[in-house]
Chain A
């Protein structure tokens, strides 16, 4: 059995089964970090399986997991999302527990043997409680925009690029985020190829809580501000990303970055997910 950090989570692998858990604990209980939930961790788990050569075209998901977001992020469909999917033909399943843990396995596998992880860190109790309270408020249908607003249609239109870094290939150039017409007025092809997810920091800032957009105004004061990186992908395009779950990271221009799906913010009862930057450790 091997244990490693993957997309900011702890992964323990045994045979065809993967146990994935949040790295945070509170009083001995495993809990989600400030921008994670069972949807983001399911995505990371499925991406891990795919990285190991497994074909995961479809998967059973627990009710709390957003099947649409999982599908856009990984292309793994689920019976909860697609009625046409024959439940009996779905090989893989995600099972959740009382704590911030998930088990990904084949449906016919009933034997699991995982040791407790040694990589966990104790989260600050006050931070955890305040963040959970903030998310509860944000997820209310009564939590509405009073100004700037990304409509659900606009969010969905860019969701493949946002959740899977899918880019357009136009006249040999990689384009991300997606564009509509080129300078000749010709419509660009749909997004078709995911970026490698390998990028370097070109600039960065940390906004004080007072300077953060209103979408983050409940959580930014708890987190002591929010950190944004401007990065350039190996394929050429640039983008801006929040840093996930990492208060201690001091960025440098040139740092290498990978990405994981996390919660961005919630409004009107609808959680917006997207990629966040994860610093690759051990660099100077």
Chain B
């Protein structure tokens, strides 16, 4: 079977962009192309998969065709991949599968979202389009509300507390402070994060990621062509995916994400690793409770002990066995929905090649994972990356 490597990766800064869709995508693609060690010609690309929710309805149809025509990929087989916030995590998986299947040698996986050029009212219409619209939305829930229900139940079942979530917020702001691509580059004190404006009780502003604009792009290549482009590839050792019932109330538990567990087990098994082998994890922390639950579902903490993991600051850079969200995560780096999954892959690519800002480099990083969740856990993609092929 063909092995797959990342040979180049780039992204825009996340945040409030003056650029539109075409400009943002061109910037991410340009950075990815120029990150390839040897000359790279976009006409070599066989296929492209671009994740986007098409937030606001801008270029809802044929998104990928529009973007790729502005980045030197005219004529390539392209499509938009939509799985809510996990859109580009699944674009990455699709790109990986295209090479694994032997149908393509060089494939682009990317993502994009423009969220901040809508009026607040229009933005509210679009936030929460990925929950169970019929049942959850009619009960007044958008994702802050859905994750708030999960948080309160986790507190009840596992004696975790809001202070545990505050530790996650403080950590991710600390990590993101040094990340030049992060949306919110500011450190926050425990006291400030603990006393934030209540968005969805018990979640405050400091428990919620920002709405960001941004684009990200990753170039994958089959093992037999990798050396044409780089002597320093990062290997995609495996890809795992899972899904679950869309509505929270239809799931057997609301303090675990079965989609994450399935995706992680599948990815770890295929890569021949366990959670204890992971040096860094880009985790989908759209809300701090999402990271707390993810540390359990990904196997870094025992079931129900995500609060303890956060309290003991085990995910802090170069402090525990695994660094969780060295980029600052969605909380600080930002969350341009469709761009988030491949944006996580950009971070892991750079971490494993030792090319992030020195202050936030994970020491001796050999294995990194990305964990990209759609909505409140209806879809999830987990990828394992390594310095070595296996």
Contacts and interface: CB of A to CB of B under 8 A. Distances in A.
Q: Is this pair of chains taken from one and the same complex? A: yes
Interface of A: 145-150, 154-155, 158, 162, 177, 202-208, 210-217, 226-228, 230, 237-242, 253, 264-265, 272, 274
Contacts of B203: 205
Given A211-B200, A213-B124, A217-B124, A150 B134 contact: yes
Contacts of A216: 140
Contacts of B149: 203-205, 228, 230, 240
Nearest to B135: A177
Contacts of B135: 158, 177, 239-240
B122 A206 contact: no
Given A148-B128, A150-B138, A230-B249, A211 B144 contact: yes
A89 B57 CA distance: 53
Contacts of A217: 121, 124
Interface residues of B, number: 40
Contacts of B247: 177, 240
B254 A205 contact: no
Nearest to B139: A240
A150 B144 contact: no
Contacts, number: 126
Contact of B201 (A148, A155, A177, A205): A205
Contacts of A227: 140
B124 A214 contact: yes
Given A202-B153, A204-B149, A214-B121, A228 B199 contact: no
Contact of B126 (A148, A203, A226): A148
B273 interface: no
A253 B156 contact: yes
Nearest to A218: B121
Nearest to A275: B139
A264 B249 CA distance: 19
A236 B129 CA distance: 27
A147 B129 contact: yes
A145 B128 CA distance: 13
B137 A230 contact: no
Nearest to B142: A213
B148 interface: yes
Given A154-B134, A203-B156, A213-B128, 19 more contacts: A146-B57, A147-B124, A147-B125, A148-B128, A203-B153, A204-B152, A205-B145, A205-B201, A207-B140, A210-B199, A211-B144, A213-B141, A215-B137, A217-B124, A228-B139, A239-B139, A240-B141, A253-B152, A253-B156
Nearest to A145: B125
Contacts of B144: 207, 211
B133 interface: yes
A34 to B, nearest CB: 13
B152 A241 contact: no
Contacts of B127: 213
Contact of A206 (B134, B200, B250, B254): B200
User: Among B144, B145, B153, B198, which residue has the most Cβ atoms of chain A within 10 A?
Assistant: B145
Given A148-B126, A208-B199, A264 B138 contact: yes
B134 A241 contact: no
A212 B142 contact: yes
Task: Find the residue from B127, B137, B140 having the highest chain A CB count within 10 A.
Answer: B140
B248 interface: yes
A267 to B, nearest CB: 11
Given A148-B128, A148-B129, A148-B133, A212 B199 contact: no
